[in-house]
Amino acid sequence: MRTILITLAATVVPAISALSYDYVVIGGGTAGLAVASRLSEDTSVTVAVLEAGFDAEGLREVFVPGLIGSGIAFTTLDWAYKTVPQTNLNGRNLTVHAGKGLGGSSLINAMIFPRAGKEQYDAWGQLNNDSSWTWDNLLPFFKKSELFTPPNAFQNASGVRYEEAMHGFNVTEGRVKVGFPNYFFNQSALWRKAAEGLGFPASPDLANGDPHAVGIAPNTIDAANNTRCSAACAYLTPFGHRTNLLVVQNATVSRIIWADSTGGNLRAIGVEYLVNNQNSTIDVSKEVILSAGAIGSPKVLELSGVGNSTILNTAGVKPVLHLPTVGENFNDHVHSWANAFTNITLTKDVLQRNSSFADAQLLLWLRDRTGLYSAAPRSMGIAAPSDIFSRTQLNDLIEQAETNLMRFAEQFSNGNPNLTKGIAAQHRIALDLYKQDKSLPLEMNAEPGYSGPTSIGNRPGVNYTSINVVLYAPLSRGRTHIVSADPHAQPAVDPAYWAHPLDVAAQVGGINLARRMLTAPPLDTIYTGEFEPGEDKDSDAKIEEWLRSVVASDNHEVGSLAMMPRDLGGVVDTSLKVYGTANVRVADASIIPFTISAHTVSTIYMIGERAADIIRAARIESELFSSPNWLAPLQTAFFWLGRGLANWLV
Ligand SMILES: Cc1cc2nc3c(=O)[nH]c(=O)nc-3n(C[C@H](O)[C@H](O)[C@H](O)COP(=O)(O)OP(=O)(O)OC[C@H]3O[C@@H](n4cnc5c(N)ncnc54)[C@H](O)[C@@H]3O)c2cc1C
Ligand SMILES: *[C@@H]1O[C@H](CO)[C@@H](O)[C@H](O)[C@H]1NC(C)=O
Ligand SMILES: *[C@@H]1O[C@H](CO)[C@@H](O)[C@H](O)[C@H]1NC(C)=O
Ligand SMILES: *[C@@H]1O[C@H](CO)[C@@H](O)[C@H](O)[C@H]1NC(C)=O
Ligand SMILES: *[C@@H]1O[C@H](CO)[C@@H](O)[C@H](O)[C@H]1NC(C)=O
Ligand SMILES: *[C@@H]1O[C@H](CO)[C@@H](O)[C@H](O)[C@H]1NC(C)=O
Ligand SMILES: *[C@@H]1O[C@H](CO)[C@@H](O)[C@H](O)[C@H]1NC(C)=O
Ligand SMILES: *[C@@H]1O[C@H](CO)[C@@H](O)[C@H](O)[C@H]1NC(C)=O
Ligand SMILES: *[C@@H]1O[C@H](CO)[C@@H](O)[C@H](O)[C@H]1NC(C)=O
Ligand SMILES: *[C@@H]1O[C@H](CO)[C@@H](O)[C@H](O)[C@H]1NC(C)=O
Ligand SMILES: *[C@@H]1O[C@H](CO)[C@@H](O)[C@H](O)[C@H]1NC(C)=O
Ligand SMILES: *[C@@H]1O[C@H](CO)[C@@H](O)[C@H](O)[C@H]1NC(C)=O
Ligand SMILES: *[C@@H]1O[C@H](CO)[C@@H](O)[C@H](O)[C@H]1NC(C)=O
């Protein structure tokens, strides 16, 4: 029973320490705000969110769709994690961007909102022997998270397609506003036609679980005023008045506080955090939900003494629970580009080079939400192995990967035999999907302007058409671990990019595919020569060499607290609870065991919705079991009956 009446309104920083809340959410990002918002719908529980960043919803660079990419220019809004030198990428230290602020990465991301292939979600269920984590059973949570605005006549005429059955339209339930831009570049349509000519089907909806196609991706845009809808816009701003929801900004969590261990599972009783380096704690009566992102969450667990004892001791943290796969199984998408000179007259380059033109376009946006800044231009296509490789090349690559399967699983698992089995299981599923042409190793998307590794001052001042080529199904696995007990220190982030030869071959194949697209009709009508990689890169070996010197993170990092069985090296079970703990769950990108072929954010909202549902069911169950004895059997019966009925209704 709750004993104190909480009267603090959301977003107020508490002046006193040792407040007590039922649920404490660590990280007010994409999944964290979804969980906190859903849990606090129940006025009988109290929820607190501790977020390291602040409210940035009022920044133009955040809310204007055409300014995507500007968010990372604010060092206050970006953790900008540096990787350790990447051995397969000429020893370069790459930057993994991650949002810091209410909304987390949804605040600074590119707002692209498709979903991955059905088979990829099914793989999570397969790995975990749990059919509740499969596409069919997760689709209701995807739909619940969104409030979809169908394309208007102009957007439809510009090529936007959608399938009604795939989306959420419930105005009282849906939260993330999903819609389409108000401006479409002509070259995007030319590119879609070129891709169709190369065999990509026209997609009826890139969120329908069958994204091996080409189309216009939905965006996290509020169609009513053409602004970004972040997790803060979706799950917090409309509910900021809730008196049972506390959101503390500028609060960096330093650790979870555990009850004195008397055997059995570890119980969290509080969370320690720093505001302006001032140390406070908040007590937890029910559960801690860890939502600090795929790099932030393993860091907090390790700072709290949960992880590989060797790694914790080296960092100067006293081990409390030896759970050696915390921070392992880490993987990320890899970004690359091909770009061409173009003689089309209107590109995003003009915005960068002509400030009076840019000012005029911004005025159009401010006046009536039109112009180039009302666009978040993303026509995209997802490629299957048959789009990238010849049959013999593919058979060869698969055969080699199968022969070396255990060698790579061992190499990637940091001496942990359970995780070796887990990574081997993931690779088997991935290779089966490759064989069935159901793996989706690459995203191809058209950029109406320059996209590439060369800074504006170092490239010709002309107009460009670019294709982003993103490696979507990496077999490489790395790790992220703390190196210091200082909560402000960055961890050692090692995505181990390109550690598997199939990853390298797929990305090189993607550049070849991008070249074919740039020169295929009708896109060839605006093509006036290649800039990058450059015509001198005339063999796979030369493309590969160039890529090693330029590829970047796609900022879709996942897997560091993977949902897998314990004997496969998992960190959380299918109720998202950390093995060996009584009341700590993880809800964010960390739990995704198996990379998906999509931008991640729609999946992470789904995880937030599912987590809230699991937590709510657990509370109801535990309250029933703790009620007076004579009532319990009856209530339990009704509870299970109710759940059965609910499942049946779904
Ligand atoms: C530049 C960029 C572009 C992207 N583009 C797209 C896109 O177009 N479409 C798409 O689908 N995905 C995109 N992504 C990826 C997607 O946005 C992320 O995968 C997703 O938002 C991650 O959600 P999360 O809940 O796991 O973590 P986050 O949303 O990152 O939330 C983690 C939160 O925890 C906080 N935190 C971390 N450590 C602590 C601590 N110790 N104490 C307190 N708080 C802490 C962080 O400040 C943050 O607010 C992009 C990402 C980036 C960075
Ligand atoms: C790259 O990272 C390593 C540590 O991971 C660091 O020692 C080195 O200085 C970094 N190099 C650059 C150029 O930043
Ligand atoms: C998978 O789950 C089913 C039903 O829940 C169970 O009968 C079966 O034994 C499980 N299989 C494995 C390998 O755990
Ligand atoms: C949308 O556009 C397509 C093709 O241009 C057209 O066939 C269809 O009728 C349009 N739908 C609506 C609702 O306008
Ligand atoms: C919309 O969601 C609310 C709240 O969950 C629910 O009560 C209602 O039945 C839903 N409406 C429809 C049309 O599904
Ligand atoms: C885009 O294409 C349309 C139709 O072909 C044409 O009318 C328009 O002028 C083009 N816009 C630009 C900026 O080239
Ligand atoms: C857009 O609309 C939302 C919802 O009504 C509102 O909260 C937000 O402030 C608006 N943003 C701008 C920039 O007008
Ligand atoms: C959080 O920190 C920022 C930057 O230091 C500051 O501008 C803001 O006022 C702080 N917000 C709160 C609620 O303390
Ligand atoms: C916060 O205070 C507690 C109790 O004094 C102390 O044990 C802990 O180390 C402090 N944490 C930090 C990050 O300073
Ligand atoms: C723990 O980490 C060390 C150092 O990285 C590693 O050698 C060891 O194999 C790990 N142990 C387990 C069980 O994963
Ligand atoms: C790029 O396009 C703009 C028109 O939008 C034009 O003024 C400029 O000359 C073009 N640049 C080159 C180098 O062709
Ligand atoms: C652009 O260049 C191509 C040749 O590469 C030419 O066929 C086409 O007419 C040119 N278009 C314009 C608008 O100049
Ligand atoms: C491996 O998994 C087994 C079974 O779940 C567990 O008992 C054991 O502690 C795990 N070993 C390591 C090194 O994590």
Q: pLDDT tens digits for 384-426?
A: 999 999 999 999 999 999 999 999 999 999 999 999 999 999 9
Nearest atom of ligand 7 to the alpha carbon of 63: 13
Residue 278 has, within 13 A of its CA and on its CB side, a CA count of: 8
Residues 76 and 100 sit within 8 Å (Cβ to Cβ): yes
Q: Is 359 in the pocket of ligand 5 (CB under 6 A)?
A: no
Instruction: Say how many Å lie between the CA of residue 399 and the centre of ligand 10.
Output: 30
Question: 444, 445, 407, 453: which is closest to 427 by C-alpha?
Answer: 407
Q: Is 174 in the pocket of ligand 9 (CB under 6 A)?
A: no
- Residues 6+ positions from 539 with CB-CB distance below 8 Å: none
Q: Is 57 in the pocket of ligand 7 (CB under 6 A)?
A: no
Cα 379 to the chain's mean position, in Å? 19
How crowded is residue 68: how many other Cβ atoms within 10 Å of its Cβ? 22
As a whole number of angstroms, the distance between CA 419 and CA 593 comes to: 12
Q: State whether the Cα torsion 35-241-2-306 is positive or negative.
A: positive
Please list the ranges in the chain whose pLDDT falls under 70: 1-18, 262, 377, 627-650
97 is catalytic: no
Nearest atom of ligand 10 to the alpha carbon of 481: 5
Q: What is each CA distance from 448 to 139, 188, 191, 340, 507, in whole angstroms?
A: 32, 7, 10, 10, 21
Largest CA distance in the chain: 81
Residue 543 has, within 13 A of its CA and on its CB side, a CA count of: 20
Instruction: Say how many Å lie between the CA of residue 460 and the centre of ligand 2.
Output: 31
Instruction: Copy the structure tokens of residue 508.
Output: 């090189």
- Measuring from atom 9 of ligand 8, which residue has the nearest CA? 54
Instruction: Say how many Å lie between the CA of residue 2 and the centre of ligand 1.
Output: 32
In our burial notation (b when 16+ CB lie closer than 10 A, e otherwise), range 483-497 reads eeeebeebbbbbbbb
Residues 519 and 366 sit within 8 Å (Cβ to Cβ): no
The vertex-524 CA angle with 519 and 525, nearest 5°, equals 170
**Nearest ligand, CA 318:** 9
Catalytic member of 212, 335, 427, 556: 556
Residues 225 and 485 sit within 8 Å (Cβ to Cβ): no
Question: 252, 259, 187, 265: which is closest to 528 by C-alpha?
Answer: 187
Residue 253 counted as an annotated binding residue: yes
599 is catalytic: yes
Which residue out of 155, 156, 158, 203 has the highest number of ligand 4 atoms within 8 Å of its CB and is therefore the one to mutate?
156
Question: 315, 294, 255: which is closest to 480 by C-alpha?
Answer: 294
Question: 184, 228, 224: which is closest to 68 by C-alpha?
Answer: 228
Q: Is 525 in the pocket of ligand 12 (CB under 6 A)?
A: yes
**Nearest ligand, CA 343:** 12
What are residue 195's phi and psi, to 5 degrees? -65, -40
pLDDT for 644: 45
- Residues 6+ positions from 113 with CB-CB distance below 8 Å: 176, 178, 207, 217, 218, 219, 220, 599, 601, 602
- Measuring from atom 12 of ligand 12, which residue has the nearest CA? 343
- Measuring from atom 14 of ligand 11, which residue has the nearest CA? 462
pLDDT for 376: 80
Residues 194 and 444 sit within 8 Å (Cβ to Cβ): no
Q: Is 350 in the pocket of ligand 11 (CB under 6 A)?
A: yes
Question: 497, 455, 489: which is closest to 595 by C-alpha?
Answer: 497
pLDDT for 7: 32
Residues 611 and 585 sit within 8 Å (Cβ to Cβ): yes
Q: Is 13 in the pocket of ligand 8 (CB under 6 A)?
A: yes
- Phi/psi region, residue 104 (left: phi>0; alpha: psi -120 to 50; beta: rest), is left
As a whole number of angstroms, the distance between CA 59 and CA 77 comes to: 11
Paired residues of 99 in beta bridges? 78
Residues 34 and 610 sit within 8 Å (Cβ to Cβ): no
pLDDT for 530: 98
Which residue out of 186, 343, 345, 525 has the highest number of ligand 6 atoms within 8 Å of its CB and is therefore the one to mutate?
186
What is the DSSP code (8-state) at residue 230?
-
Instruction: Say how many Å lie between the CA of residue 188 and the centre of ligand 6.
Output: 12
pLDDT for 629: 57
- 43-94 pLDDT, tens per residue? 999 999 999 999 999 999 999 999 988 877 788 999 999 999 999 999 999 9
Q: What is each CA distance from 200 to 212, 388, 443, 465, in whole angstroms?
A: 7, 12, 12, 20
As a whole number of angstroms, the distance between CA 185 and CA 190 comes to: 9
Nearest atom of ligand 2 to the alpha carbon of 84: 5
Instruction: Say how many Å lie between the CA of residue 569 and the centre of ligand 13.
Output: 7
Which residue out of 346, 463, 526, 530 has the highest number of ligand 12 atoms within 8 Å of its CB and is therefore the one to mutate?
526
pLDDT for 4: 29
Q: Is 85 in the pocket of ligand 2 (CB under 6 A)?
A: yes
As a whole number of angstroms, the distance between CA 94 and CA 301 comes to: 24
Which residue out of 84, 306, 308, 568 has the highest number of ligand 10 atoms within 8 Å of its CB and is therefore the one to mutate?
308
- Measuring from atom 6 of ligand 8, which residue has the nearest CA? 54
Instruction: Say how many Å lie between the CA of residue 208 and the centre of ligand 8.
Output: 40
